[in-house]
Amino acid sequence: MSEGMADLRIFGGTAHPQLSERIARAVGTPLGDLTVTSFPDGETFVKINENIRGRDVFIVQPTCPPTNQNLMELLIIIDAARRASAARITAVLPFYGYARQDRKDQPRVPITAKLVANLLVAAGTNRVLTLDLHAQQIQGFFDIPVDHLYALPVFFEHLKRRQLDNLVVVSPDMGALKMASAYAQALGADVAIVGKRRKSATEVEHGHLIGDVQGRNVLMMDDITETAGTICSAARVLKDHGARQILAGVSHALLNRTAQERLRESCIDELITTNSTPQKESGDFRLTVLCVADLLAEAIKRIHCGESVTSLFRIGGATGT
């Protein structure tokens, strides 16, 4: 470890230990010694097994399913680090759970994304590092610094190697339009939009297409999928309008059984995602998992050294979503 990194410590919760290890390796420091166990009644117990007094501590924990368990574990680790006199605590959330509950869109409902922000600050978080938030305004829910990275550079390098010709980037709904536009700008491609009407939490219905996909390769981009309803339904519309090869790119893939069944039966040729959340191998559909460890590691090093992270998400003038 270099002299400039001597005061840096990286700890990983149980949500995604493989990613924590990769990040620590990329930073060039061993992963911190942390014990996380459960009491018989399910309560989480945490112990930091090394001295972190005066250290710059980074805690890696995506709040993916089981969301409540992983979130509570993160809060407990942060509290342990604060009580151990860490100089600064940065919560590294490759995936920010509850991000879709970011506004009061019907009577008597919570804004849970804001509640999570409050909990992180109350626990002792001094800074947050996250990736592809569902809504950018979530940064404003915090009264502490938030470094919001984009997966665009990671996707860009992969797609550039693929050398896809006659490409059009498609937004599977209006909410992903800004993201699709950023990818189209970086890749030098056109943009199209598929209209969507949500029937329930797990079912959507797509209708009209704005743009031309006839005989063209298509890249659908979205920030998150759980049941794959949106991308599979949109893919059917694209295929009906003459799309050639259909790729779906998703920053965070929380693929449950319903999603796997839908992807298996869909006309999506390949799903490209990141390891921001744990991914299982799939023999039923073509799944490509890109690693974000180097991106997060570089951000951690720059934050620790007081350097800018802006250049980490600039691609040919595009700055993500």
Q: Where are the domains of the chain?
A: 3-149, 152-290
The fraction of the chain above a pLDDT of 90, given in percent, is 85
> Among 3-7, 130-134, 172-176, whose mean pLDDT is lowest?
3-7
- Give the pLDDT confidence score for residue 281 in this predicted structure: 74
The pLDDT tens digits of the residues spanning 66-87 come to 999 999 999 999 999 999 999 9
Q: Rounded to whole angstroms, how far apart are CA atoms 140 and 227?
A: 28
Q: Which one of the listed residues 104, 196, 199, 301 is annotated catalytic? A: 196
Do residues 34 and 63 make contact, with C-beta atoms less than 8 angstroms apart?
A: no
- Give the pLDDT confidence score for residue 173 in this predicted structure: 87
Q: What are phi and psi of 255, to 5 degrees?
A: -80, 110
- Give the pLDDT confidence score for residue 299 in this predicted structure: 98
**What is the domain class of 152-290 according to CATH?**
alpha beta
Asked if domains 3-149 and 152-290 share a fold, the reply is yes
Mean pLDDT of 129-139: 95
Q: 3-149: what fold?
A: Rossmann fold (3.40.50)
What's the predicted TM-score (pTM) here?
0.92
Mean pLDDT of 151-170: 94
- Give the pLDDT confidence score for residue 205 in this predicted structure: 60
Instruction: Please give the biggest Cα pair distance in the chain.
Output: 61
Element (DSSP H or E) covering residue 303: helix 293-305
Alpha helices in 28-171 (DSSP H): 67-83, 112-123, 152-162
Does 196 qualify as catalytic in the annotation? yes
Q: Say how many C-beta atoms besides its own lie within 10 A of residue 4's C-beta.
A: 10
Q: Rounded to whole angstroms, how far apart are CA atoms 216 and 45?
A: 53
Q: Rounded to whole angstroms, how far apart are CA atoms 282 and 260?
A: 9
Q: In what order do the strands lie in the sheet with 146-149?
A: 8-12, 56-60, 88-93, 127-131, 146-149
Mean pLDDT of 282-293: 88
Mean pLDDT of 153-168: 93
pLDDT level of residue 33 (50, 70, 90 thresholds): very high
Average pLDDT of the chain?
92
Do residues 205 and 236 make contact, with C-beta atoms less than 8 angstroms apart?
A: no
Mean pLDDT of 24-32: 97
Q: What are phi and psi of 8, to 5 degrees?
A: -95, 135
Do residues 239 and 269 make contact, with C-beta atoms less than 8 angstroms apart?
A: no
What string of DSSP letters covers 264-295?
Answer: HHSS-SEEEEETTS-----SSS-EEEE--HHH
The span from the first CA to the last CA of the chain, in angstroms, equals 34
Question: Has residue 163 got a pLDDT over 50?
Answer: yes
Mean pLDDT of 169-193: 93
- Give the pLDDT confidence score for residue 319 in this predicted structure: 46
- Give the pLDDT confidence score for residue 208 in this predicted structure: 85
Mean pLDDT of 107-131: 98
Q: Say how many C-beta atoms besides its own lie within 10 A of residue 57's C-beta.
A: 25
Q: Rounded to whole angstroms, how far apart are CA atoms 18 and 33?
A: 15
The fraction of the chain above a pLDDT of 70, given in percent, is 92
Please write down the HEC assignment for all residues of 142-196.
CCCCEEEECCHHHHHHHHHHHCCCCEEEEECCHHHHHHHHHHHHHHCCEEEEEEE
Question: Has residue 3 got a pLDDT over 60?
Answer: no
